[in-house]
Chains A and B, each alone.
Chain A
Amino acid sequence: MSKQFWIDLTDISDWTGNFTGIQRVVYNLALYFYTNNEAKFFRYDENTRRFYTADFAAIKRRFETVLPSNTVKAKDYKLLIFSAYAALPSRLREVVPPSAKRAIRKRAKQVLLIARKIAASKPIVTASPQVIFSPGDTVVVFGNNWDRSIFIDDLARVKLEKGFEVYQLVYDLIPILGPHLFGQELFSIYARYIFEVAAVSDRLFCISRSTEYDLKVFCAKVGLAVPETKVVRLGDSLASVKPEALAELKGQKFVVCVGTIEIRKNHMLLYYAWKEAVRRGKPMPQLVIVGRPGWHTEDLRRSLKHDPDVAKRILVLEHVKDSELRWLYENCMFSIYPSMYEGWGLPIAESLSYGKLCLASNTSSMPEIAGNLIDYFSPYDSGECLEKVLEYYENEQKLSRKEAKIIKHYKTTDWRQTYEEVKGFLNS
């Protein structure tokens, strides 16, 4: 008799807007189980502290509607209204020239379109039957529910009563290992969450050997027996969007760095490397940082904006569409990823999927992605980082040879492969 799998969709059931990295993992894996009719789906409700069936088909419809287009945020909505307002001549209101009317109408249409998209992306939470797990069931959690503090307790409680199996996917232990990167409060919340995840799970998936190692060290520290683990490689196949050029970068030599501007991603190192190049009088490629502003980086963002040495050499793009991101990858010289610590490091894999070299940090999971196909530097050594950038910027032949090697040897991981690995472990 085959096992009854229950896949948790809590992370994506009540989400509005585009999916984040973890939500894409949940979606992509669940999609295969759904397509092959191999699992049932559930979500957890914090208010009732119960588990309910979840409608994956509805989530899929919403995902297909919203995801391929570009990020729609309340912030954008506000910006558009503001720009429509700003388009009006200052003294007007009574007399609006035809050109202004056209501008207003155009922006109003955009606002309406976006409002419709926001309305369409409301959470898929409908009245659904409660799930009663049975002994012999296998509950699979691909999401990361640390921010729903009682989810894991309630799952453990129900498991204690019913006696089913639990499998979970662990992404990283970074808030525990680097509390200064997030804040002390998250340290204790996350430590308690991972503690119960490891305690309640019969088996665990980890997204890298580095995360698996961190998990084992954690378990030893708190006296937990380590459950059986399996490292699965996440899919890094590319979004099928048409590239859209960024006019200001056309014809330029530039290096791209993708990731939220937060302290852990370590953009400060790039700032210092580019500054040092100015001090040495070395020409450098344009650096394009793609990422929304995150926490603990106010000083850095101020420096990037106002430091005359780098203001023109470093471009920060906060809102980049998938199509523009594709263009950036396809047209950059190479990418750079100076993160201090990662659970995996998706931008490295993405860059390689586009056949582009990524210069990356030599810590945590990052060297696992491509081994010696790419070059590394210490995330704490801006001099070493600068040397690496110059090595490839100043020697395009070397860069071309490196790219050829990447194109020949780097194998993109299809989500089907990830799913097969997951399913194999679930059934073993």
Chain B
Amino acid sequence: MARAMSKSAKILMVGTYPILKPKHGGQKRASAIYSMYKKSGLSVRYASVIPGKYYLDRTKSDVPVSIDTMKAIEETPFLNDIICGEAIFSDPKARSHMKHVIERFRPTIIHIEQAYPYLGLKKLLVAMNYKAKIINSTQNLEWSMKNQMYKSEGMDTRLRAKIVTRIKQLEQDLANDAVVNVAVSKGEVRSLETQFGAKNVVLAPNGMNRQTPKRRDVKKWQSSFKRDSIKFKILFVGSAHTPNMIGFLQMVSKRIGFLPFGTRILVVGGVADLLRRNLNETAIEDVCFTQRASLLGHVSETDLAALLYLSDLIILPITGGGGSNLKTAEALLAHKKIVATSHAFRGYEEYTQYPNILIADSSDQFRRSIKEQLTAHQQEYSCDQLEKIDKVLWENALKPLVEKVKTI
């Protein structure tokens, strides 16, 4: 019966970023969910309202906000997701686009990715007198994560309190209205249930696709490492999400003279740009930092696959932010030595006792663990362990969500 219902279900996924060429974690998760719905035979569309300047890779379903809204985004840093969410109703261009999508596609289910679109979409649905079942797909406990982030960015206390209260209210509202609530970790399942009284909470952890490097990319990086006398490669991958940088500075710091010559931390992703901006050319530790760290920044998916393949150690110095870490799944699937915080393994707790993995929650311990891993022997995983690691593949991680949606 449930299966028969799902045949006629039409799912509209709504976000505040495109998923054409996913770069950050949010995009990757939304893209994976979209693919999983599709693979499962469900009728699905993705539409978003976005700050056009920030996302050049997009489809016709991703509509940039108007010039006025874009100006507002640029004038108020860190609020772009809230502004884009509101724009779905308040920005004529965005509203008309979303209305058009809904009218043409006639979704029976609207999947809200990361709460914010619901700010404007709820009003739009009321205005259109349109009824659809709502899925609240969370990636973090947004109010808590934003509170931490705004605090570290030095936002005015009163303004921060006002915005955070608003986000909390939004999450409450969405949890009330949703027929299914999706969480990424056990901790967040509990939070949704206890803080917001959410019903029908399904756990669908973050995952990753299996990465297969291309021989050409591997050769290219190998010769680059040889040229720079890099023998031991430590990989740190992170988006330009402030907690990624804060975690790195807290756990590893810029004082990385403890790494011997021939060892290099390869910093990949937007976090490299954040770190670069944070470097002061008149500070001794900052100048010497790049003797042992290469700030590679954004690399292609195929280059990342090669770097994962060639790295000797992957570090996950995550100390803040909500949700579960996509990079943890990536590291597990790479079968490399890992040094991580407990926070980075939220949602992946069952793997913390695996060989090759060291968990360290203080800066001293983290740095010591990195040193230990430099000389530690890489151990082979058992078949059982390998099978369990495969649970972090998107196709396995999102299975509970798809099953649940099919029952709506």
- Taking A160-B231, A196-B291 as contacts, is the C-beta distance between A221 and B285 under 8 angstroms? yes
Question: A199 interface residue, CB < 8 Å from B?
Answer: yes
- Inter-subunit contact B284/A200 (CB<8 Å): no
A271 within 8 Å of B (CB atoms) = no
Quick check: B284 and A222 within 8 Å, CB to CB?
Answer: yes
Which chain B residues (335-350) contact chain A, with CB distance < 8 Å?
none
Q: Which of A156, A176, A198, A222 contacts B255 (CB 8 A)?
A: A222
| A192 contacts chain B at the CB level, 8 A cutoff | yes
The minimal Cβ–Cβ distance linking A2 to chain B, given in whole angstroms, is 27
Please, how many angstroms separate the alpha-carbon atoms of A221 and B256 in the complex? 10
Residues of A within 8 A of B288 (CB): 191-192, 195, 222
Contact B261 A222 (CB under 8 A): no
- Secondary structure class of chain B's binding surface, majority of residues: loop
Q: What residues of B have a CB within 8 angstroms of the CB of A153 in the complex?
A: 229, 261
B197 within 8 A of A: no
CB distance A224 to B291 under 8 Å?
Answer: no
- Specify which of A157, A160, A187, A219 is in contact with B257 (CB 8 Å cutoff): A219
A179 on the B face (CB < 8 A): yes
Q: Can you list, as one digit per residue, whether each of A186-223 has a CB less than 8 Å from chain B (1) or not (0)?
A: 01100110011011100000000000000000110111
Q: Which chain A positions have C-beta within 8 A of B256?
A: 222-223
Q: Is A184 an interface residue (CB 8 A)?
A: yes
Query: What is the chain B residue whose CB lies nearest that of A225?
Result: B258
Contact A188 B281 (CB under 8 A): yes
With contacts A188-B287, A191-B287, A191-B288 known, is A222 near B257, CB below 8 A? yes
What residues on B are CB-neighbors of A196 within 8 Å?
261, 291
Query: Are B229 and A224 in touch, CB under 8 angstroms?
Result: no
Q: Which residue of A lies closest to B257 (CB)?
A: A224
B261: A residues at CB distance < 8 A: 153, 156-157, 159-160, 196, 199-200
**Across the interface, which residues of B come within 8 angstroms of A184, CB to CB?**
281-282
Q: In the complex, A160→B288 CA distance in Å?
A: 20
Q: Which of A179, A195, A199 contacts B260 (CB 8 A)?
A: A199
Q: B residues 295-342 with Cβ under 8 Å of A?
A: none
Question: Do A222 and B285 touch across chains, with their CB atoms under 8 A apart?
Answer: yes
Task: List A residues 144-174 near B (Cβ within 8 Å).
Answer: 153, 156-157, 159-160
Q: Which residue of A lies closest to B252 (CB)?
A: A223
Known: A153-B229, A160-B231, A196-B291. A176 touches B284 (CB 8 A): yes
Contacts of A187 in B (CB 8 A): 282, 287
Closest to B261 in A: A156
**Interface readout for B240-283 with A: 1 if CB under 8 Å, 0 if not?**
00000000000001011110111000000000000000000110
Residues of A within 8 A of B284 (CB): 176, 191, 218, 221-222
Task: List B contacts of A198 (CB < 8 A).
Answer: 257
Nearest-Cβ distance from residue A353 to partner chain B, whole angstroms: 36
Contacts of B281 in A (CB 8 A): 184, 188
| Residue from B229, B253, B255 in contact with A160 in the complex, judged by beta carbons closer than 8 Å | B229
Within the complex, the shortest CB–CB distance from A343 to chain B, in Å, comes to: 17
A residues near B287, Cβ cutoff 8 Å: 187-188, 191-192
Q: How far is the CA of A221 from the CA of B229 in the complex (A)?
A: 24
Interface of A, secondary structure class, is helix
Minimal beta-carbon separation of B201 from chain A (angstroms):
44
Chain B nearest CB: distance from A205 CB in Å? 20
A218 proximity list for chain B (CB < 8 A) = 284
The answer to whether A199 and B229 touch across the interface, beta carbons within 8 angstroms, is no
Known contacts A218-B284, A221-B255, A223-B285; is-contact A156 B291 (Cβ 8 Å): no
Q: How far is the CB of A96 from chain B (nearest CB, A)?
A: 61
Q: Complex formed: what's the CA distance from A195 to B262 in Å?
A: 14
Chain B interface size band reads 10 to 19
What CA separation (Å) do A243 and B5 show in the bound complex?
A: 109
Chain B residues with CB below 8 A from A191, complex form = 284, 287-288
- CA of A159 to CA of B282 in the docked complex: distance in angstroms? 30
Assess whether B291 is in contact with A195, with CB atoms less than 8 Å apart: yes
Closest to A153 in B: B229
CB distance from A301 to the nearest CB of B (A): 28
A198 to B288, CA, bound (A): 12
Residues of chain B within 8 A of A222, CB atoms compared: 255-257, 284-285, 288
Q: How far is the CB of A403 from chain B (nearest CB, A)?
A: 43
Check A223–B262 contact: CB distance below 8 A.
no
Could you tell me the distance in whole angstroms from the C-beta of B371 to the nearest C-beta in chain A?
Answer: 10
Closest chain A residue, CB of each to CB of B262: A160
From B260, B261, B288, residue with most partner A Cβ within 10 Å: B288
Chain A residues near B257 (CB-CB < 8 A): 195, 198-199, 219, 222-225
Shortest CB-to-CB span from A160 to chain B, Å, is: 5
* B400: min CB distance to chain A, Å: 44
Q: Mark B87-104, 1 if CB is under 8 A from A, else 0.
A: 000000000000000000
| Nearest-Cβ distance from residue B13 to partner chain A, whole angstroms | 46
Nearest CB of chain A from residue B203's CB, rounded to whole Å: 40
**How far apart are the CA atoms of A153 and B255 in the complex, in Å?**
19
Q: In the complex, which of the residues B229, B231, B255 contacts A223, with contact meaning CB atoms closer than 8 Å?
A: B255
Inside 8 A of B367's CB, which chain A residues have their CB? 223
**Closest A residue by C-beta to B290:** A192
> In this complex, what residue of B is CB-closest to A219?
B257
Contact across chains for B258 and A157 when beta carbons are under 8 A apart: no
B231 nearest CB neighbor, chain A only: A160
**Residues of A contacting B231 with CB < 8 Å?**
160
In angstroms, Cα B146 to Cα A218, docked, is 37
A191 to B281, CA, bound (A): 11
- Chain B hits for A223, CB < 8 A: 253, 255-258, 285, 367
B-contacting residues, A66-109, CB 8 Å = none
The closest CB in chain B to the CB of A194 belongs to: B288
Alpha-carbon distance between A198 and B260 when the two chains are bound, in angstroms: 11
Complex Cα–Cα for A196 and B287 (A): 12
- B257 CB to nearest A CB, Å: 3
Contacting residues, chain B, for A179 (C-beta < 8 A): 282
Q: Which residues of B contact A157 (CB under 8 A)?
A: 229, 261-262
Interface hub of A176, A198, A219, A221 (most chain B Cβ within 10 A): A221
Expressed in whole angstroms, the Cα–Cα distance for A224 and B258 within the complex equals 5
Question: Is the pair A156, B258 in contact by a Cβ cutoff of 8 Å?
Answer: no
- Once the chains are docked, how many angstroms separate the CA of A192 from the CA of B291? 7
In Å, the complex CA distance between A50 and B258 comes to 27
Q: Bound state CA distance, A153 and B230, in angstroms?
A: 11
Specify the chain A residue showing the minimal Cβ separation from B256: A223
Q: Smallest Cβ distance from A373 to chain B, in angstroms? A: 35
Closest A residue by C-beta to B283 = A221
The residue on B at minimum CB distance from A200 is B261
- Given A198-B257, A222-B256, 11 new contacts (CB under 8 A): A157-B229, A159-B261, A160-B231, A184-B281, A192-B288, A199-B257, A199-B291, A221-B284, A222-B285, A223-B255, A223-B257
B interface residues (Cβ-Cβ under 8 A, vs A): 229, 231, 253, 255-258, 260-262, 281-282, 284-285, 287-288, 291, 367
- Chain A residues in contact with chain B, CB under 8 A? 153, 156-157, 159-160, 176, 179, 184, 187-188, 191-192, 195-196, 198-200, 218-219, 221-225
Q: List 26 A-B contacts (CB under 8 A).
A: A153-B229, A153-B261, A156-B229, A157-B262, A160-B231, A160-B261, A179-B282, A188-B281, A188-B287, A191-B287, A192-B288, A192-B291, A195-B257, A196-B291, A198-B257, A199-B257, A199-B261, A199-B291, A219-B257, A221-B255, A221-B285, A222-B284, A222-B285, A222-B288, A223-B256, A224-B258
Question: Nearest 3 pairs between A and B by C-beta?
Answer: A223-B255, A224-B257, A223-B257
